Structure 1
C-alpha cells in the first residue's frame, strides 16, 4: 500500500534555510540600527570586521551588498564602507525593516496613516467615478463576507487601496501601499479590529457611503473616526 504522505511530501516546497549571509546581514543591520555603527561613520576594515564576526570576506561582501541595496550602507572603492544617515537620506521603503527592529515606529506610522487616510477619503469623495463607487461598495461587501480575521484584514486593505485609486492620484496609491508594507512585519499582532467580519464592515461602511455620495467633509470625518478607532485597538494589542 502506498504511503499516503508520499504524494503530499512531493508537493510541498521545502522552507528556505537561513544562510550565513542571512545571519550576518541580520547582525549587521541590528548593529547599525541600534547605533553600534553610527550613521556617517566608516565600518572597520573588511578583514577586521570579517574576523570579528567569524566569517569570510566574501560572505561579508555579500552582506554589504544587501545592506547597501536596503539603503543602510554605501561603499566607496579605495575608501571604505560607510553607514548612511538613513533618517536624512532614506525613503519610506526602509519602514518595514525599521519596524522589525523596533515596534516603536508603529505609533509614528499610524499618525501618518490617519492624516493621509482622511485626506484620501476626502479626495476620493470629490473625484470617484461611478465605476469606482460601485467597486468600493463591492469591496466593502467582501469585508463582511470574509471567512476569518486574516481574510477580513486583507479585504479591508483592498477597500483602502480602492479609495486611493479613486482619488485619481497615483502617489496616494503608492503611499497607501507603503503604509501597509510598513506594518506588514507585525500584521499578525494587529488583527483584533478584524476578528468580527460584520463589525469590521460596519465600522468601514460610513467611509465608503460618504465617498459614494460625494460627501467630502463627511468622508473625511468618517475616515478619521475609522482610523483613530482601529489605531487605538491595534496599539492596545501591541502594548
Structure 2
C-alpha cells in the first residue's frame, strides 16, 4: 500500500490563498496585505508564507516586486493553459469549457491526421487502438485511449496540436476518476474509437472529422453524467 501524502502547513496556506484569489477576495491587480500582517492573521511564520507565495508565483497567480509588494495577477488575461488543472480543482465547472475545446480541437486533429499521417503512424494508431480493447477496463482503458489521441496529434505533423492534447489531458487529472465512464468496457471503448482510426487510415479527412465529432460528443455526455453523480462530485473535490 502507498502511504498517503501528508498536508503541510505550506500546503494548507497555499490552498487558502489560492481560493481567496480565485473567488475574488483578492481581485486581480490588487496587492496582498503586508507579509507580517498576513502571517499573523494565518498564525504562521513569514518563512512559511514566503514558501506559499513562491508556489503561487510559480502557478501564475501572484507576482512579487521587491520593495513594492505582492500583487494578484490577472490570470484570465495573462495566464496560459497550464493553469487549467488548478482551475478545475477550484471549480469542476471549468470542465464544460474544456470539453467545448476538446470537441473542436479533437475533430480538427483527426481531420489533419487523415491528410498527413504516414504509413508508420497509421500502423501505430492501429496498434494503440488494439491496446484499448485489450486493457483491463476503467483506468487502464482510459490511459490507453489517451495514447491513441496523442498519436493522432503526432500524426498531424504539428507539434502545437501535440501540446494542446497534452494540456487537455492534464486538465482532466483533478477529476479523472469521475470521467472513467466511457472506458469501463474495453470492447465498447475500442469500437467507439475505431471509426476515427480507420478514417485516418483511409486518408478520408471528412470522415475522420465526422467520426471524431461523434466519438467526442458521445464520450463527453457519458463523462459529464459521471461527473454529475454525487460520488463524481466528491472525486472532483479531492
Deviation per CA, 1:6-48: give whole Å up to 9, x if none: xxxxxx7644421111111111111111111111100001111
Distance 1:165 1:152 in 2: 20
Match of 2:80 in 1: 91
Distance 1:213 1:148 in 2: 28
Distance 2:41 2:89 in 1: 25
Q: 2:69 aligns with which of 71, 76, 80?
A: 80
The residue correspondences of 1:1-239 to structure 2 (distance < 5 A) are 14-239=3-228
TM-score scaled by structure 1?
A: 0.94
2:164 aligns to what SS in structure 1?
Answer: helix
Aligned length: 228
Report the aligned-residue RMSD: 0.9
Who wins on radius of gyration, i.e. which is larger?
1
1:186 aligns to what SS in structure 2?
Answer: helix
Structure 2: runs of 5+ lacking an equivalent: 229-238
1:214 aligns to what SS in structure 2?
Answer: coil
TM-score scaled by structure 2?
A: 0.94
Distance 2:128 2:225 in 1: 27
| Deviation of the 1:123 alpha carbon | 0.3
